[in-house]
Structure 1
Amino acid sequence: MPTTELLVHKNQLATTRVREVPDAPLAPGQVRVRVDRFALTANNITYAAFGDAMHYWDFYPVQGDGADWGTVPVWGFGTVVESGCADVPVDERLYGYWPMASHAVLTPTRVMPAGWTDGAAHRAPLPAVYNQYERTGADPFYRADTEDLQALLRPLFATSWLIDDFMADNDFFGARTLLLSSASSKTAYATAWCLSQRAGIEVIGLTSAANAPFCQSLGSYHRVLTYDALESLDPATPCVYIDFAGNAALRRRVHEHFQALRYSCSVGGAHVTELGGAKDLPGPRATLFFAPAQSKKRSTEWGRAVLAERMVGAWQGFLAAAQSHGWVQPAHAQGPAAAQAAYAQVLGGRMDPRVGQMVSLAGD
């Protein structure tokens, strides 16, 4: 049975195509995993928007279609359907980083009871956190009844938790007001939730008029402002800008308005049609946040077990809040045409912020 792939044009992100690739025999040590379902969020649009600069296209390079087409990595669940690795049995269920495809071929190395690493040579230079696959039977994050929420929120929450930790690690750069753009995006409001657990911090969400009521309903922002109200804030306020939108014009407005901007943190590119450079801005240089770097720092300082324990504890609190308040309502897209439509909706920012898009290309 061939593998179905959803490809994206690297320089025209709205252009997609579906292709079927015959399955080649596995090499010794490889496994074939059926990608049962994966999440599509603004986080994945960020992967595409920064695909060249941050090497996201390199995880699942497209074979045979030249350099213009790429596979956007996604988070979700898969099941081993064929195994040439004695330590990874058929039917084992995994959580991890997949291609937008029906199947993926991986090379398990460093196999442990909790999971293993894809040892494919092309992934060796890439951040290790993206190369790890968790066995659901031993995963402390895993609950069988919340798979959709895990796929939609867990990778975003990990980034959000690390942003919160990075800010606290740097004493919020001497500020106590934090501005978050694209406040309705899941990574933004997960960050707001983490920050809201800390005393003495004011978290302000910046969003569109259409999404303002949703952001206000979350209870994680102390204030929610529409983008056109930005200049109503006191320009002398010492603050930090955490940018999930990537909107170049908005970034410039923030930098020009706030005389005491202490730090400018670039995280995402949710406003994909309005991305742009950050040169010649007043105030601090806009600095890209790279979650694996903060994760590696804390893993070195605390040890991996302590880092995991702290993150799992925070995740459980966030998941409980998301469930009890209905922050996310999973929607399911099955098959290539539905997957393309779902991708176009997420790319265009046309999704209801409460909807979490789950996709499967693996068939019924």
Structure 2
Amino acid sequence: MDTTSLLIRKAQLGQTLLHTYPLPALADGAVRVHIDRFALTSNNITYAAFGEAMQYWQFFPVQGVPDVEQWGQIPVWGFATVLQSRHPEVPVGERVYGYFPMASAVDLTPGKVHAQGWADVAPHRAPLHAVYNQYTRCATDPFYTADTEDLQALLRPLFITSWLIDDFLDDNAWFGAGDIGTPCILLSSASSKTAYGTAFQLAQRAGIEVVGLTSERNVAFCQSLGVYHRVLTYAQLDQVAPGTPSIYVDFAGNAAFRKALHTHCTALVYSSSIGGTHVAELGSGKDLPGPRPTLFFAPAQIKKRSSEWGGAELNRRLAQSWQAFVARVQQAPAPWLQVQHHTGPAAVQAAYVALLAGDSNPRTGHMLSL
């Protein structure tokens, strides 16, 4: 059968190519899945922006196009159904949640299968971080409900990152900011889903101030969420007192603004680099005043907490927090998220280009199917 995928030129993220090619005969022990639906968020733009540094391009290698090394497939989170199986423990028709390419179908290689799911053990994925190689069986997934598939694809991986950021900062005692005064946690790209998921968790803690930084057009949206103590535009950074003990959680990756914040916030105790939603303004974190920006890698905190608490307890805490978050996201009369569906190659391509350009409404969640 053929598969269609959306390819991205690695060095020029705005250049795309719709590529249809035949899948080879299914290998022994492999499964072929149809990718039913997947989410597209600013998190996926971050995957592309950090594709080389964080090895995101390596999960789903491109095949069959000229200059193949110049092109990549952005990983996405979504749901798929097993179309063919040459693995005795993975039946045709089973539905799974996990990490896929922006494509209509893909072949995966399950390793040891257990009640909850399995990992893809294809040789090219062996060096990559294990958390991205896991596929969860919907039938046994404590997070899964059929009526919230869109929210799971859109928010679940982002919220887990959000939860881990909050946990990481608390785990490190706010890097001593509380010893100086009331810690101020500054979040850039405050309208992004990972940022407001982080703010949702932080807002439940006493003794800290959560400040959202965003563009002027997104101020009202961020204020409506009710999780930021203050919402400022990037131009209003001077409204943060320079001597406030602060932590910068950077979802935007804007190098010029990062330098401005590091210069202005003279009591900055920690600078965490999370994402790159401002693709055109990405740059180095070298030669900055204050602490050197440190890349946050969620799987490292998962590994630490799994070791300390055990996997079952970590999952219990995550699931409990997820249910509270989803309840708030859907709360009437003002839900935080409105899902928009895009079907077909041209629609998927257009949705990606619009998101990359920053033209997407922050209240809109994009679900795509090729």
Using the size of structure 2 for normalisation, the TM-score is: 0.97
Partner of residue 130, structure 1: 132
Aligned mates of 2:203, 2:112 — CA distance in 1:
38
Partner of residue 82, structure 1: 84
Partner of residue 266, structure 1: 273
- What 5-or-longer segments of structure 2 have no aligned partner? 178-182
Contact kept in structure 1, 2:21 and 2:64, CA below 8 Å = no
Runs of 4+ aligned structure 1 residues displaced above 2 Å come to none
Aligned mates of 1:354, 1:196 — CA distance in 2:
20
RMSD: 0.6
Aligned mates of 1:20, 1:227 — CA distance in 2:
42
Deviation at 1:233, TM superposition (A): 1.2
Partner of residue 8, structure 1: 8
Report 1:1-364 matches (<5 A): 1-65=1-65, 66-175=68-177, 176-324=183-331, 325-361=334-370
Superposed CA offset, 1:54-80 (max 9, x none): 000000011233210000000000000
Aligned mates of 2:112, 2:363 — CA distance in 1:
38
Letter in 1 for 2:259: R
Letter in 2 for 1:196: A
Aligned mates of 1:35, 1:64 — CA distance in 2:
20
Superposed CA offset, 1:187-239 (max 9, x none): 00000001111111110000011000000000010100011000121000000
Aligned mates of 1:197, 1:84 — CA distance in 2:
47
Letter in 2 for 1:4: T
Deviation at 1:18, TM superposition (A): 0.5
Contact kept in structure 1, 2:212 and 2:232, CA below 8 Å = yes
Aligned mates of 1:18, 1:114 — CA distance in 2:
34
Aligned mates of 1:29, 1:134 — CA distance in 2:
18
Aligned mates of 2:23, 2:246 — CA distance in 1:
53
- What 5-or-longer segments of structure 1 have no aligned partner? none
Aligned mates of 1:239, 1:23 — CA distance in 2:
51
Aligned mates of 2:139, 2:275 — CA distance in 1:
32
Letter in 1 for 2:226: G
Letter in 1 for 2:347: A
Deviation at 1:345, TM superposition (A): 1.0
Aligned mates of 1:80, 1:64 — CA distance in 2:
24
Secondary structure of the corresponding residue to residue 34 of structure 1: strand
Secondary structure of the corresponding residue to residue 198 of structure 1: coil
Letter in 2 for 1:106: L
Aligned mates of 1:201, 1:323 — CA distance in 2:
26
Superposed CA offset, 1:131-178 (max 9, x none): 000000000000100100110000000100000000000011122110
Aligned mates of 1:23, 1:50 — CA distance in 2:
28
Paired-residue identity, %: 63
Secondary structure of the corresponding residue to residue 282 of structure 1: coil
Partner of residue 180, structure 2: none
Aligned mates of 2:112, 2:280 — CA distance in 1:
41
Superposed CA offset, 1:281-311 (max 9, x none): 0000000000000101111111111111100
Aligned mates of 2:325, 2:263 — CA distance in 1:
34
Secondary structure of the corresponding residue to residue 210 of structure 1: helix
Aligned mates of 1:171, 1:153 — CA distance in 2:
27
Secondary structure of the corresponding residue to residue 136 of structure 2: strand
Deviation at 1:348, TM superposition (A): 1.0
Deviation at 1:2, TM superposition (A): 0.6
Secondary structure of the corresponding residue to residue 43 of structure 1: helix
Aligned mates of 1:354, 1:249 — CA distance in 2:
27
Secondary structure of the corresponding residue to residue 216 of structure 2: coil
Using the size of structure 1 for normalisation, the TM-score is: 0.98
Aligned mates of 1:358, 1:318 — CA distance in 2:
19
